[in-house]
Amino acid sequence: MLPSLGIGRLIKSSIRHVSRKRRGGGGVVLFSRCLCVRTGDNGSDAESTTPPPPPPTAADHYDVVISGGGMVGFAMASALGKSARLSDRRVLLLEGGAERVWDLSPDYSNRVCALNPTTQHLFTSLGVWQRILDMRAQPVKRMQVWEACSEAMITFEGDEERPVAHMVENDVTLQALKSLIPSHVQVEYNSRVSGYQLPQDTSSTVTITLKNGRTISTDLLIGADGVRSGVRAAMGVQYLGWEYDQMGIVATLELSEPTDNTVAWQRFLPTGPVALLPLSEDKSSLVWSTTKETAQHLLSLSDEDFTDALNRAIWDDKPRDARLESVHKGWLKLLETVLPWTNEGVVRQLPPSVTRVMASSRASFPLGLGHAVHYVAPRVALIGDAAHRIHPLAGQGVNLGFGDVATLLETLEKAVLLGADIGDERMLYEYERGRQRHNVATMTSVEALYRLYTSEAPPLVLLRSLGLSAVNLITPVKERIMSHANG
């Protein structure tokens, strides 16, 4: 859960280049025809040349349709519903899955996200944050990140008033958002979209075909339909990405004793990072990214053997190179001499040990990286994992999605204020530009961290140890990292 480093300036110029190229020459049109895309049941997409379905009736026209009711889709629905400027707009959210009856159980769910202060700010403005706190959320007041190959570590400090983040179960976030959706926003479950027909400009509207044959039209389609987005496929945008040869194992853990459990721990192993994230005095959530082979092995172990393997991953050191150790020690001494005032409060704490993994709480997810080169087209915008997918090591994925929601809302409100069409690509482009600056910078730095820490090559171990130790002692640099991670 290391906050990503702000090295995005390197790629900003390439975004500007792509953007200029796309809009240069009097407005290059993305689509030379109306695109019809049929989405498969598993979210995979297949282009179709079948004739368009019968046109929707006036009752089936909406100002905005959100495709996908995950955390990001529901946050968008909530934001649109609560906006005074957009209160007269007809908004529909389509979710392919069934509506779940959900009650807060005493057992913690194994799907948890670290919500950063920017998300907290958005949720406070939507009136959702208090609902989350009323259910449950654990503040993270400190983050300690260290590695198995050297003594280097970094800490990020928050406090009671301003925690670094809050650990919140995904179900709690979703429930809070759903329970506060304004009544004029329509939500339809069991409404899987089977095809999107996108216009080449704003002279016509988007047509959406549901699996049950019904058609709906809209002035603005928001794709919040996750990693295998059918909306993105219909846009035909380039999607850059790859699968890591890694799985993320999640689980709920019981700690050896109740403590003031408000520290998020992350240790980088050569196979990937392992993180213990606080849930309560004696429970933590696990996110353990590791090779597919190791993940398979870990999932096959008994609960007792898995707990032992986890404690070893947290506590055991890798064989260390004595020369690197001595250079690192010398570097630390030098830093303490040159920057004596910065060392205050940087204390290495010992992580908790785990007594057991809660029964049946282990699960695993494939990890990958992906980014849509464009987030918008005439009458379409992508948000959340539909637009970008990131390694969970920095705990940024859904926070980036909530950032998309905040910026898209601002853009649409501005369009209404100016009397513009909310599906106008020129307006939507402001959203794309604003978010890509932030998202691409975050993704680039998370990717760099991932590559840096999955190497055991001595020069790299030395370099990253020296770098991490230096950053740990230079407060302004740490503050910049935190400020970027917070959106």
Ligand X SMILES: Cc1cc2nc3c(=O)[nH]c(=O)nc-3n(C[C@H](O)[C@H](O)[C@H](O)COP(=O)(O)OP(=O)(O)OC[C@H]3O[C@@H](n4cnc5c(N)ncnc54)[C@H](O)[C@@H]3O)c2cc1C
- Residues binding ligand X (CB under 6 A): 39, 43, 67-73, 94-97, 113-114, 192-193, 224-226, 230, 248, 250, 287, 365, 384-385, 392, 395-399, 401
CB of 464 to ligand X, least distance (A): 22
CB of 454 to ligand X, least distance (A): 17
- Check if the beta carbon of residue 97 is closer than 8 Å to that of residue 43: no
**Which among 121, 90, 86, 127 has a CA at the least distance from the CA of 412?**
86
**Segments of 279-432 assigned E as strands:** 283-291, 354-357, 363-372, 376-377, 380-382, 388-389
CA torsion through residues 350, 356, 359, 364, sign: positive
Local structure of 173: helix, strand or coil: helix
CB of 43 to ligand X, least distance (A): 5
- Check if the beta carbon of residue 414 is closer than 8 Å to that of residue 439: no
Cβ-based nearer residue to ligand X, 221 or 461: 221
CB of 344 to ligand X, least distance (A): 29
CB of 240 to ligand X, least distance (A): 17
**Which among 273, 278, 403 has a CA at the least distance from the CA of 349?**
278
What distance in Å separates the CA atoms of residue 459 and residue 31, rounded to the nearest whole number?
49
Cβ-based nearer residue to ligand X, 71 or 132: 71
Cβ-based nearer residue to ligand X, 252 or 342: 252
Cβ-based nearer residue to ligand X, 72 or 372: 72
Cβ-based nearer residue to ligand X, 192 or 328: 192
Tokens of 308: 């032992």
CB of 203 to ligand X, least distance (A): 26
Q: What burial letters (b/e) apply to 257-294, b meaning 16+ CB within 10 Å?
A: eeeebbbbbbbbbebbbbbbbbbeebbbbbbbbbbeeb
Tokens of 300: 């096959």
Cβ-based nearer residue to ligand X, 392 or 423: 392
End-to-end CA distance of the chain: 15
Cβ-based nearer residue to ligand X, 65 or 422: 65
Burial of 410 (0-12, 13-18, 19+ CB in 10 A): middle
Look at the block and give the residue holding tokens 């057991």.
356
- Beta-ladder partners of 193: 210
Cβ-based nearer residue to ligand X, 249 or 324: 249
Q: Which residue's beta carbon is nearest to the bound ligand X?
A: 70
What distance in Å separates the CA atoms of residue 378 and residue 354, rounded to the nearest whole number?
52
Tokens of 223: 């794709």
CB of 104 to ligand X, least distance (A): 19
Look at the block and give the residue holding tokens 């994992």.
385
CB of 88 to ligand X, least distance (A): 25
CB of 152 to ligand X, least distance (A): 23
CB of 353 to ligand X, least distance (A): 22
What distance in Å separates the CA atoms of residue 165 and residue 50, rounded to the nearest whole number?
48
Cβ-based nearer residue to ligand X, 250 or 276: 250
Cβ-based nearer residue to ligand X, 80 or 335: 80
Cβ-based nearer residue to ligand X, 92 or 154: 92
CB of 226 to ligand X, least distance (A): 3
**Which among 251, 278, 273 has a CA at the least distance from the CA of 141?**
278
- Check if the beta carbon of residue 367 is closer than 8 Å to that of residue 248: yes
CB of 45 to ligand X, least distance (A): 9
Cβ-based nearer residue to ligand X, 56 or 401: 401
Q: What is the 3-state secondary structure (H, E, C) of 6-66?
A: CCCHHHHHHHHHHHHHHHCCCCCCCCCCCEEEEECCCCCEEECCCCCCCCCCHHHEEEEEE
Residues 6+ apart with CB under 8 A from 368: 227, 241, 242, 243, 244, 389
